[in-house]
Amino acid sequence: MTREPLLSVRNLKTYFIQDEGLVKAVDGVSFDVAEGVTLGIVGESGCGKSVTARSILRIVDRPGRIVEGEIHFRRPSANGGPGRTVDLATLEPNGAEMRAIRGAEIALIFQEPMSSFSPVHTIGSQIVEAIRLHQPGGRREARDKTIELLRRVGVSSPEERVDQLSNQLSGGMRQRAMIAMALSCHPTLLIADEPTTALDVTTQTQILELMRQLQQEDGMAIMLITHDLGVIATMATDVAVMYLGRVVEQAPVDAIFHAPLHPYTRALLRSIPRIRSRARLVPIAGAVPHPYDRPTGCPFHPRCAEFKAGTCDRQEPRLTRIGDHHTVSCFLYE
């Protein structure tokens, strides 16, 4: 692991400047994604996980914008040698380089596949479009490739499906087609934003299994964004836990679930119902604060069981390294 990571986000800050106030959706987020692994990003609503993903792809909706930070992405080279690293945060959001990266080298799959496909064009034509945008070759060739891709992601009778509209497919099939489109240009990084949240549990298992299998074959890295700790435990190699725009803890998946350090991670794991037990749950007090009135100091302090007055509400904890691969942002460890 001496090579530099595929994606390295440093102190990313994405703010939304609105009439009602400033929303610090992402407030100093740092993490790395190594080649070929799955980084799980877990957090509740308003923790900034989706905005982080959108910042990386430079598709943050107005009035949001990146106000600080770096997003280093190592672009693959044609001959297989070490690629060139670019800082995505400095690129023009709709410039040539960003467009060459987005959708091709970094692909995205959304929660709601229904809205990601145009309802008036066939599934096939949209994937063909994506292929021809980034790769040389004719329409015929692209169509063959599309059918092959659909077959690969487990769409039954792809020769027929390729000419169907997205609303003719079931939710699971649409998500598979979405994955096919994302994989069409052989991305090195796949960002999956709540890819299975809209799906039933039995379909979710299929899609997660598919993603894992495709990762083994293609060797891409996956950034999996979800609120579901179960999905994270199933899929991730490393996990970053986010709360109110910050990464509060990052560690390998086993450490997060079996030796969590941050009070939020620990409380979260105690509070979720488990299928193997009926024991009374230990809830976290309070609710996630509204983004307009963020607490001062550590954002978790009003709900924290280990709150130290005078410290946690006054200063902001730094991300501290505990052991080789475990970082945590809490005064207990400073």
| Binding site residues, other proteins, CB under 8 A | 19, 44-45, 170-173, 200-206, 208-209, 227-234, 236, 253-254, 257-258, 267-269, 271-278, 280-285, 287-288, 290, 303
Q: Which is nearer to other proteins, 2 or 45 (CB)?
A: 45
Shortest Å distance, C-beta 142 to other proteins:
28
Shortest Å distance, C-beta 232 to other proteins:
8
Asked if residues 9 and 27 have their Cβ atoms less than 8 Å apart, the reply is no
Q: Which is nearer to other proteins, 85 or 234 (CB)?
A: 234
Q: Which position has the token pair 């001062």? A: 296
Q: Which is nearer to other proteins, 101 or 231 (CB)?
A: 231
Long-range pairs for 152-161: beta carbons < 8 A, 24 or more residues apart: 152/180, 152/183, 152/214, 153/177, 153/179, 153/180, 153/183, 153/210, 153/214, 154/206, 154/210, 155/180, 161/123, 161/124
Q: Which is nearer to other proteins, 118 or 156 (CB)?
A: 156
Shortest Å distance, C-beta 280 to other proteins:
7
Shortest Å distance, C-beta 239 to other proteins:
9
Q: What residues contact 124, with CB distance under 8 A and at least 6 apart?
A: 143, 146, 147, 161, 162, 163
Q: Which is nearer to other proteins, 123 or 284 (CB)?
A: 284
CA gap 111, 107 in Å, rounded:
14
Q: Which is nearer to other proteins, 3 or 278 (CB)?
A: 278
Burial degree of 234 (CB within 10 A; 0-12, 13-18, 19+): middle
For the chain, the 3-state helix, strand and coil shares in percent, each to the nearest 5, are 35, 25, 40
Shortest Å distance, C-beta 186 to other proteins:
26
Shortest Å distance, C-beta 87 to other proteins:
33
Shortest Å distance, C-beta 120 to other proteins:
22
Q: Which is nearer to other proteins, 89 or 267 (CB)?
A: 267
Q: What residues contact 69, with CB distance under 8 A and at least 6 apart?
A: 9, 10, 11, 12, 13, 28, 29, 89
DSSP structure string for 256-270: HHHS--SHHHHHHHH
